Structure formats: C-alpha cells, structure tokens
Amino acid sequence: MNYQKHLVDQDSTIKEALAKLDVLAADAILFVVDHEQKLVGSLTDGDVRRGLLKDMSIHQKVIDFIQPNPKYILKSSYNVEDLEKFRAANLKIIPVLNDAHQVINVINFRFLKSYLPIDAIIMAGGKGTRLKPLTNDIPKPLLKVADKPIIEHNIDRLITYGIDDFWISINYLGNQLKEYFKEGESKGVQIKYVSEEKPLGTIGAARAIKNFQHETVLVTNSDILTNLDYEDFYKDFIQSGADLSVVTIPYEVLIPYAVLEMEKGSVKSFKEKPTYTYYSNGGIYLIKRELLELIPENEFYNATDLMEELIIRGKKVNSYPLRGYWLDIGKHEDFQKAQEDYKHIKF
C-alpha cells in the first residue's frame, strides 16, 4: 500500500484535504504531518464537518481542524498486545512512526492480519539439485506454484502479517532473485540480500546481517508452502519465554500390532495397536536476535546446529506444532503435489 496517500501537510487547506479524503473512500482518514514528516494529528470527514459547523472555512488550514492525539505504532517499540487493543477498539488504519516521530508507514487492518515486530530472513541459496532439470536455468525459489514463484507465496503471506523488513540469502542464480524482487518496492516492503560466496547451510548466512530492525528474527526456508498463522506462532514464542522456537510437523505412526512394554526382559504391559506421534523440523524458526551471534562467521552452519548449541547452553528451545498445511518442495513429486494442493487449500 502506498501510505503517502494517507498523509497531508499541516499547511494544506481543508479543500485540498477533502479531495484526498474523497479518493480514500472507505479508508478516509488522513494523518497530518509537519514539514519534517512528523505526526501532528489526524483528520476525518467528521472532523471537517464539525469544523464547518463552527463556521470555519474550507480555505483554512488543515491544522485548525485536526484531532491532535491520534493513536500510532512506534516501529522500534510495540507488541502484539498493542495491536489487539487497536483491533478491539475497531481502529483499522494506524500510522507507524520512527524514533523521531516521523511517519514511515500506514497500516490498514482491512488488508493485514497483523503487524508483527519481526525481521524475516528467507534462505534461498540452494541449488535445488533434486528438481533438475527444472532448476538448470532458474533457482528453485522462483519455480512457480500456480500463478507465482514459491518464494513469493512465502513473502506475500508474511506481508499479510505486517512483516516489512526482509533479507533474502542468495547463492545459486541469485541475481535472478534480485532482478525479480529488487528492493521490495512493488510489494511496499524493504528487501535486502545476503550473498553466499559458498554454501553456508540453513542459517549460516544470518550471521552476516547486522542491522536488524527488531528483537525477534524469523528464519525460513524459501521452498516451503504453508498457511502457518504467523501471529499465533509469534505469540506462542513470546508467551513461552523461548529463546528459539521451531515449527514442528506432527507425524502419526500406527502400529498394527500390540506393542509390549518391557523391563529387564519381563513384559510389564502392552498396548493394542497404538499410535505414536513424532515431530519433525518444519524449517521455520523464531529466534531472539542476539542469539544469532552464536553462529560462526562465514562457515557452513545449519539451524539444527544452533538449536543444539542453545540446548547445551541451557537456553529454551520450543516446539510449535503446526496446525495447518505445510509442504517442503524438495522433489518432483512434491512440486506436483503443491500444484494440486494449492487448488484446494486456503492460503
């Protein structure tokens, strides 16, 4: 969304502001800024009507009509509880400010599910060897599922949860990814790139990033198709007090026979045709930012290596069992399954 359409200078006339409000239609609210783009107030049709009823003129300045204390989100310091309060109060359109109180974005909950305080790193440097010849001339993340590339499905879903600070780790045919997404302008987000000169595993490239915007970092593989609820994942991460949380995929294994429970050669009990549930790594993680410093620089390093290191250090590694759809597109049969599943599953 082009947030500039919601901004109006404090020295503009009410007539000029009304023209902007008319274009905004159902989203008719303006945020009034000074010459440094700092927020000074808000303006709606109702504010204009109340001013005109007091014999004010449409040729007067906007500053004379404003509500001086609008709600806002401070980019460097907010939480999900703040968002829930806004939604409970039916506040749908909210400005986002930097530390200088300049408006840097305007979010609209008619289009966003949330606005999570997260940086996202998408690992997209693999060669996709098992998908050859499809990946001979195109990186796996740019292979299309239905109407768009796999990685774009992931980015678009993250954007619906308000994530707008992205890093993409690239290696094999990485320039194609840079050409496709550029710096994120077409998506209304910021996208930066980490170039791997050599393969660095599933999380090694994260060590090179220094200027995160938030305290929490999401790391995800680029070749996953999922309808994961990222807000619920984030809330569980915060409420659990975890240092790292990993999305886990439950697998049930049905044993078609009675299973004996033994102790020192003696049968103590048995279970008739039991079902056991196991959890596998889903390749999506939430991590406290400072813990990424444990990753060695410019070395091959997997997310499972970091998890093991955190466990050794007594940190809390949490499992978040997935309650939705997940598919790792690694083989040709996975790629075909993704095409069919996408027709029938809501993402």
Residue 73 included in any domain = yes
Residue 247 domain flag: yes
Q: 45-53 vs 14-24: helix axis angle to the nearest 10?
A: 140
Give the residue-averaged pLDDT of 132-149. Answer: 94
DSSP-derived pairing of the beta strands 224-226 and 326-328: antiparallel
Number of domains in the chain: 2
Question: Are residues 154 and 29 both part of a single domain?
Answer: no
Residue 160 domain-assigned (yes or no): yes
Mean pLDDT computed over 69-97: 92
Do 83 and 159 fall into the same domain?
Answer: no
From 86, 108, 130, the end of a domain falls on 108
pLDDT 10s digits, 155-173: 999 999 999 999 999 999 9
Instruction: Identify the CATH number of the domain in which residue 292 sits.
Output: 3.90.550.10
Q: Are residues 55 and 82 in the same domain?
A: yes
Same domain, 128 and 253: yes
| 127 in the same domain as 38 | no
State residue 120's pLDDT score. 98
Where does a domain end: 70, 89, 108? 108
The share of the chain scoring above pLDDT 90, in percent, equals 81
- Asked if the bond preceding 133 is cis, omega within 30° of 0, the reply is yes
Tokens for 200?
């660095």
Q: Is residue 113 part of a domain?
A: no
Is residue 9 domain-shared with residue 70, that is, in the same domain? Answer: yes
| Domain, as residue range, for 80 | 3-108
Mean pLDDT of 243-267: 89
261 and 317 share a domain?
yes
300 lies in a domain? yes
Residue 122's CB is within 10 A of a number of other CB atoms, namely 26
SS3 188: coil
Identify the pLDDT of residue 158.
Answer: 97
User: How much is the pLDDT for 37?
Assistant: 95
Using the 3D structure, point to which of 83, 108, 133 is the last residue of a domain: 108
Q: What is the pLDDT of the chain when averaged over all its residues? A: 93
Same domain, yes or no: 96 and 130: no
Considering only 28-37, 216-225, 255-264, which range has the smallest mean pLDDT? 255-264
Q: Please compute the mean of the pLDDT values over residues 232-252 and round it to a whole number.
A: 95
Do 200 and 168 share a domain, yes or no? yes
Q: Are residues 99 and 125 in the same domain?
A: no
End-to-end C-alpha distance for the chain, whole angstroms: 20
Q: What is d(CA 285, CA 325) in angstroms, rounded to the nearest whole number?
A: 16
Q: Based on the fold, state whether residues 172 and 239 are members of the same structural domain.
A: yes
Give the pLDDT band of residue 1 (cuts 50, 70, 90). low
Residue 218 in any domain: the answer is yes
CATH code of residue 39: 3.10.580.10
**Widest distance between CA atoms in the chain:** 95
- Using DSSP bridges, classify how beta strands 30-33 and 7-9 pair: parallel, antiparallel or unpaired: parallel
Name which of 160, 320, 322 is nearest 236 in CA terms: 320
Q: Are residues 169 and 125 in the same domain?
A: yes
147 inside domain: yes
Check residue 263 and give its pLDDT: 84
In the predicted structure, residue 291 carries a pLDDT above the cut 80 = yes
Q: Give me the mean pLDDT over the 56-71 stretch.
A: 92
